[in-house]
Amino acid sequence: MTQSPPPVPPDWWRSIFDEVYLQTDARSILDEDLTRAEVDAVIQALDLGREEAILDLCGGQGRHALEMARRGYGRVLVLDFSQPLLAWGRSQALREGRAVAFVRGDARSLPFGGGNFQAVLCLANSFGYGATRGDDRQILQEAHRLLQPGGRLFLEVADPGYVRAELPLQSWHEAPGDLVVCRRRWLTPDHLVCREMVLSRQRGLVRDCTYQMRLYEPEDLKASLAEVGFARVSVSQGREPHSRPRERGALSRRLAVTAWK
């Protein structure tokens, strides 16, 4: 087994979040109990009001936004880069008759004017994908720019302590359809690197890709947010929102940050 991680395309996140991802990560991202628990936590942490303008940044197929709409939150907008996930979310919103807006964009440079939102959410490990720290920083700058004065941010990332000490370096799990997802992981000083091979019993290999996420220590995260202008930054560690304690990859244990503009 090789010791050094394989190369990772710098913009890997542009192509990996598609229909296959909806299956490989279904155990988290299509788990309605988990989504409800995550939404409970955000509403409580930011004391979100139903009339507030809320941006679900890197919101994927809008599972949190849709759950919030079900609870009467009427001004939630999902921003994501992935066309397939946005299309999934739009269809679901249509089926349920929910007024959730889905917008395509790059979180490093958002297509909205400043001060448009009272809260920005970035949930379930959607941060730290940037090829450089500067890319990650641009996302935090944009979140800050979009908030009204007094607006707040809720950001979740993988807990680096868990990733370094407990996340298995090899794992596999069965996914919906006939898929088996095999992951091999490497730890570098800054990143968790993963090679993912997805096998279909009928079709053979359907995906072989590599990706990575930068691991942020709590102090590092606090400093990064303060640097772009956030105040009252607080980090809570050891959050395990899954109701069934089972290895769920980097999402198993998280850090959650709240910060104010």
Ligand X SMILES: C[S@@+](CC[C@H](N)C(=O)[O-])C[C@H]1O[C@@H](n2cnc3c(N)ncnc32)[C@H](O)[C@@H]1O
Residue 93 found at the interface with ligand X (CB under 6 A): no
Instruction: Please say whether the beta carbons of 176 and 162 come within 8 A.
Output: no
Task: Record the tokens describing residue 3, joined without a space.
Answer: 């010791």
Helix axes 83-96, 63-70, angle to 10 degrees: 20
Instruction: Please say whether the beta carbons of 58 and 122 come within 8 A.
Output: yes
Size of the site for ligand X (CB under 6 A): 19
Q: Whole-number minimum distance, CB 117 to ligand X, in Å?
A: 16
The residues in 98-127 that bind ligand X, with binding defined as CB under 6 A, are 106-108, 123-126
Collapsed DSSP state (helix, strand, coil) of residue 51: coil
Q: Whole-number minimum distance, CB 226 to ligand X, in Å?
A: 22
Q: Whole-number minimum distance, CB 204 to ligand X, in Å?
A: 26
Residue 241 found at the interface with ligand X (CB under 6 A): no
Helix (H), strand (E) at residue 93: helix 83-96
Q: How far is CA 216 from the centre of its chain?
A: 14
The residues in 48-87 that bind ligand X, with binding defined as CB under 6 A, are 58-60, 63, 80-82, 85
Identify any residues that bridge with 207 across adjacent strands, giving them in sequence order.
Answer: 198
Task: Record the tokens describing residue 48, joined without a space.
Answer: 């979100």
Residue 13 found at the interface with ligand X (CB under 6 A): yes
Residues in the chain: 261
> Please, which residue, 129 or 230, has the CB nearer to ligand X?
129
Q: Whole-number minimum distance, CB 10 to ligand X, in Å?
A: 12
The residues binding ligand X (CB under 6 A) are: 13, 17, 29, 58-60, 63, 80-82, 85, 106-108, 123-126, 129
